[in-house]
Amino acid sequence: MAKTLRINLTLDEIELLIRTMENSSSPNILKKKDRLAVKYLSHVIAQDVINVVPLNVISKGISLLTGKPQDKITLLSKLSDLGLTPTKKGQLRAYLNGYIQKQGSSLFISETEMGIVVTVEDLNRLVESKIP
């Protein structure tokens, strides 16, 4: 029999939990943190994000996937320096495509386009180019 625990947490509490798990040295905890971060980002996209500035969406996604404080992520930050692995870049791309779709666009960021992006500024320009 599977053991399941359901608890209600606010988005802020989930974000705090993700950040706390980032400090773990256990690979198992870090894998769980990554899964929780992806679920969290998927849920955030389901919320009304129409009036959110793309840069804030980008920095929040990077922060949750890498554990870097959101206020330390600048336009000049290189994605590789922020700790975005290819897997995390893919998760960020999916998150941003959800945001772009929520803005009413049928365009999306391709894997190739994401591979070319070097800095947060490049990514911000790319996201803005996809929004009508």
Sign of the C-alpha dihedral, residues 59, 108, 127, 130?
A: negative
Q: Would you state the pLDDT for residue 109? A: 95
Residue tagged 């950040």 (tokens): 19
Highest CATH level, class, for 11-130: mainly alpha
Q: What is the mean pLDDT of residues 78-106?
A: 91
Buried b (16+ CB within 10 A) or exposed e, 74-109: eeebebeebebeeebbebbbbbbbbbbebbeeeeeb
**Tokens coding 45:** 């996209």
Q: What is the mean pLDDT of residues 8-17?
A: 75
Q: Would you state the pLDDT for residue 53? A: 82
Mind listing the pLDDT tens digit for each residue in 30-89? 778 777 777 777 666 555 555 568 888 899 899 988 888 888 899 999 999 999 999 999
Residues above pLDDT 70, as percent of the chain = 87
Domain chopping of the chain, boundaries:
11-130
Exposure on the CB side of residue 73, measured as CA atoms within 13 A:
26
Number of Cβ within 10 Å of residue 25's Cβ equals 6
What is the pTM assigned to this prediction?
A: 0.70
Confidence category of residue 28, pLDDT binned at 50, 70, 90: confident
Q: Would you state the pLDDT for residue 78? A: 94
